[in-house]
Amino acid sequence: MTQPLKKAIFIDRDGTIILEPADEQIDSLEKLEFVPGVISALRSLTGKGYELVMVSNQDGLGTPSFPEATFHPAHNKMLSILKGEGIEFDAQHIDRSFPHENKPTRKPGTDMLTSYLDGSYDMAASFVIGDRISDLQLAANLGAKGIYLGLPGKDLPAYDLATTDWHEIATHILSQGRTAVVDRTTSETDIHIRVNLDGYGQSAIDTGLKFLDHMLWQIPHHSGIALDVTCKGDLEVDEHHSMEDVAIALGDALINALGDKRGIERYGFVLPMDECRAMVLIDFGGRIDFQWNVPFTREYVGDTPTEMYRHFFHSLCCAMKCNLHIEASGDNNHHLAEAVFKAFARALRMAIRRDPFDYHLPSSKGLL
């Protein structure tokens, strides 16, 4: 079995973890002071699938201008405090050269970090965090995402995020990866679905059924996710295969994007619309139970048969491996269908909401 690629967060020290003094040399315990918010942020990033790697330029370390004896007390105290908070670095890489030496081991050079470039790390999903342009340049050289601990500016190299808030950095990193792509091809349909549960990316929907497209658009609008759906189906036969297979592929994409479900809310929601009332309850508990009570009075709404909406949501429920209870009432069949989709989207929004600083599994059983 192929081993999954590892990921890393490369973190600068001075000015990023601890405040940098005016003389740019932390050579005494009196100068040791943490950047606000860094400890809680690093604690939240620990154990989340990333190796924590310190990468620091320490100009002339070990020379008369910066003796080892003045470096280690403050450095070791910093590590001790972090360890007491449950934070330990998987590796530390410290370059001791002066800037004028232009050594390839010195940031933004990568010679200290060649072990991360052997193909065993997913550098595109890794990060470099620092307060200098050289840190962003290091990110580019590694093929990683750069996070600048400072104010955004047009003179900065390309970056993924620029902020002075460590809480925002941790939230940004922990919000990565809730994406999924599903391609489903049968003799009846050819479907591509991409979802991003945190709303990054554009939405586009084309199933070949205009009213179904209109209904599916309620999901990104009201749940906050990004959703890309294309379906080429055998509509010359009827609508059944397209609607069923879109639901299956969408359910697969949503449950895959949820991953291990840690930190999610899990449950959701009720919604009125004009004269209609729709109730949708979701529980991503890993067990399938589907209930439906939506009394359509017309055979078709737009170009879709109303009987297929029960089958659509049942197929979606099975693919998502969840409890899905849907009940709606009202006089206008268009509004009835739309209220159900809007309520589903709002229920989904509530259930998939994740607090990146609360990474517990929402189950007393310890399993979802």
Closest to 339 in 3D by CA, of 352, 348, 350, 330: 330
Q: Note whether 20 and 26 are within 8 A (CB).
A: yes
Closest to 203 in 3D by CA, of 176, 224, 174: 224
User: What six digits make up the tokens of 15?
Assistant: 């000015």
Spatial CB neighbours of 250, under 8 Å, sequence gap ≥ 6: 182, 193, 195, 229, 316, 319
Phi, psi of 46 (to 5 degrees): -70, 135
Residues marked active site are found at 12, 14
Task: Give 76: exposed, middle or buried? Use CB within 10 Å, 0-12, 13-18, 19+.
Answer: exposed
Q: Which helix (H) or strand (E) holds 226?
A: strand 226-233
Rounded CA-CA distance 67/325 in Å is 68
Closest to 349 in 3D by CA, of 229, 226, 246, 236: 226
Q: How many CA within 13 A on the CB side of residue 271?
A: 25
Closest to 316 in 3D by CA, of 301, 326, 305, 327: 326
